Amino acid sequence: MSDPVQGFSRFTKEEKIQWIARRYTAHPQQTEELLKKYWNADDQLQRLHDEFIENTISNFYLPLGVAPNFNINGDLYAIPMAIEESSVVAAASKAAKFWGSRGGFRTRVLGTRKVGQVHFRFPGDPGTLKAFVEAAMPAIMQDSEGLTRNMERRGGGISSITLRDKRNALPGYYQLHCEFETRDAMGANFINSCLEQFAATLVAEARTYPAFRDMDQPIEVLMSILSNYVPDCLVRAEVRCPVADLDQDFGMDGKTFAKRMVQAVQIAEAEPFRAVTHNKGIMNGIDAVVIATGNDFRAVEAGVHAYAARSGTYRSLSHAEISEGEFRFSLEVPLALGTVGGLTQLHPLVKMALEILGNPSAPKLMEITAAAGLAQNFGALSSLVTVGIQRGHMKMHLLNILNQQGASQQEKEYLIDYFRTHTVSHSEVMEQLNLLRNPG
């Protein structure tokens, strides 16, 4: 094991690559060549990418695809999706085309409030603390005016600040639970700046509050940070059609298909092991749009999965029912997204993806993203309850296997044609590839 490196962040990019390659890889020259192969030929564009994060050595590419034919509230979209998993874009596109002739996706934003909290300890009487917070509130609002002025001009700002007694969880623990409207910005920097100012004012006001005169440190702020759990930043997406309109494409009559779909969702609502995979399929669609539009997919994932467990049991995010002769399939999901700030103004492909979507507002992007998640869920479930998930997935995965084995273009063309009528499995692909390479 080599000694710890000192001053790594001050190395040039070339020096960082050499250091990594020579200490941690078996073939340093090949490593250096591979990393440089993924640099952008445009030096200005590469410098832009280098400055997104620290200690950059190369670029890590994901495929950027497009799922066309999304009819969302009567408008037609082609949705950019950045993802590496086979069959996701194909499934979303197929579902979009299917529902496009059946009224399309109906979406509606149910709320856009986001949350942040000041976490602090207070050792005294809760009634005294409540009176103090009420007295300090004018100062808290006044001291944050410089931070909120521009956001308020755009129709956003602070929605509410509430004292929460959390002593049942931890001794002496309280929160300022704060809600915000951030308009088209995701708002993380705005919210965190506000929270830190709230905390500073809270501490300063406590020093001169008469009832705290005999206390050395009445308010001990532990941290001030936004929450990625945003149950009031919520969007709904739905598709519906007469059960009779499901008679085609699924190899069974519409009534049977609809019942099987409803039962599949009921299982995901009742069984957490199934619900996790069920919701992962939804996130295949959502994350792909979130990444393509420069938003934070880790924050979205964390908030969505917390929402799925809000009842105390992890459940399906989507719902299905047969009512009044209609099959209805819907999704409600919290999505804190932005269309201004961050990578949306910096990353050229993000700017292009937003342009393809018509430069949507943040609420409109919520609706588009939810529709992509619902489409992906419908595509996955419709396969599961009919032919099974592997037929379509493995055919899309075939090229990955062939590329891993260094197949030539001629070998690829032959095997793609062969597996049009044969079941794809890794072992079968390897066997057929070996027969091609070693005939007789």
Distance, CA of 28 to CA of 25 (rounded, Å): 6
Q: What residue type is 340 in one-letter code?
A: V
Give the pair of three-digit tokens for residue 213: 């005169």
Nearest Cα neighbor of 96 from 116, 120, 76 is 76
Distance, CA of 274 to CA of 229 (rounded, Å): 22
Q: Which residues form the catalytic set? A: 85, 280, 296, 393
Do residues 93 and 71 lie in contact, with contact meaning Cβ atoms separated by under 8 Å?
Answer: no
Distance, CA of 98 to CA of 249 (rounded, Å): 9
Pairing of strands 318-323, 326-334: antiparallel
The number of beta carbons lying within 10 Å of the beta carbon of residue 28 is: 16
Q: How many residues comprise the chain? A: 440
In sequence order, what are the residues at sequence separation of 6 or more whose Cβ sits closer than 8 angstroms to the Cβ of residue 99? Answer: 71, 105, 239, 241, 375, 378
Distance, CA of 241 to CA of 227 (rounded, Å): 37
Strand partners, 125: none
